[in-house]
Amino acid sequence: MDTTSEDTPPNVSFRTRLAVLRPRDHATLLLTPILVGLGLLEGATSGGAPADLFSAGLLLALAAVGGYRSYMAWRKPSSDFQAERPEGNPAS
C-alpha cells in the first residue's frame, strides 16, 4: 500500500502541534483521559446498577467522541486556525 503526502501528517514537533491547536482541542486532549478513567471507574464500581452503567457508558461515549476529535485536530495541525472560521459568524 503506497501512502501519499496527503495521507501523512506534516513532520512537525510535539510543541509545534500543541501551539497550533485551538483552545477547545487543548481542553479535549486534557479531558479525554479523565473521562475514560471516570467511565471505567464508575463501570467497575457500579455493581450492575442500570443507572451507574448508563452513566459509565455515557462517559466512555463522550471520551470516544472527544478522543476522535482530538486525534483529527492533532493529525492535521493548522498554522492559522482563524482561517477556517466563516467570516460572518465569530461564534463558530
Terminal CA-CA length for the chain: 38
Question: 55 is written with which cell numbers?
Answer: 452513566
What is the predicted pLDDT for the residue at 54? 92
User: Which one has a higher pLDDT value, 64 or 83?
Assistant: 64
Per-residue pLDDT, averaged over 12-39, amounts to 78
Per-residue pLDDT, averaged over 48-56, amounts to 88
Helix H segments across 1-92? 14-20, 23-44, 50-75
